[in-house]
Every structure is written in structure tokens, then in C-alpha cells.
Amino acid sequence: MSNLFEVTQSAAEKILEISKQEQKEGFGLRVRMGQGGCSGPQYQLGLEDKQTEGDQVLDQHGLKVFMDGATLEALKGGKLEWIEGPQGAGFKLHNPN
């Protein structure tokens, strides 16, 4: 686990499963801060095959996570989970900041 940002094992497994289904094996997860609204910044998740200049790269349960410095700072101490429940399943991003 990283004290910077954590991807839970279940979330990493789901992302790796999705990347295989989309024939993007070996890709990493890009976490990007998007436009903010009245409820704060929005975050975007996507698959990318390589890091870009200025990225921090975290290795979480065999998954590479790419984040620029501003996004990593904004999500410091945060966590990405895969949640399954009666209302469905999906990713949940916890941001303590």
C-alpha cells in the first residue's frame, strides 16, 4: 500500500480484467484531475500504455498507476476501491482532502 494513493486489490484486479477484455493488456491506469464544479474537482480514469513526462508512477497489486504531480497531491492519502452491492458495482474514489 502506498501512503500517497492506494488502489485496493479488488480495484486493481477489476482494472486488469477490463484491460484484458479491451485487448489493452500491459496498460496502466491514468488518474487525472478534470474540471471542478460546485462539489469540487472531478477525476477521470482511463487506460494508457505509457507514462508521460512529469508523471509519478505507482505500482499497486501489479497495476501501474500514472498520475501527474497536481493530481497526486490532490489525492494524497486517497484510495480507489471496487465496490459491489445491492445497488450495483463500480469504482469509488475516496479523497480525504
Average pLDDT, the chain: 91
What does the pLDDT read at residue 97?
A: 83
Would you say residue 96 has pLDDT above 50? yes
DSSP assignments along 53-89, one per residue: TTEEEEEETTEEEEEEHHHHHHTTTEEEEEEEETTEE
Exposed, middle or buried: residue 4 (CB in 10 Å: 0-12, 13-18, 19+)?
A: middle
Choice between 97 and 88, residue whose per-residue pLDDT is larger: 88
Q: Quote the CA–CA distance of 88 and 6 in Å, as a whole number.
A: 22
Question: Which domains does the chain possess?
Answer: 5-94 (2.60.300.12)
What does the pLDDT read at residue 84?
A: 93
Beta bridge partners of 16: none
Q: Quote the CA–CA distance of 63 and 15 in Å, as a whole number.
A: 8
> For residue range 37-74, what is the model confidence (pLDDT) as tens digits?
667 778 999 999 999 999 999 999 999 999 999 999 99
What does the pLDDT read at residue 1?
A: 45
Q: What percent of the chain has pLDDT over 70?
A: 94
Would you say residue 2 has pLDDT above 60? no
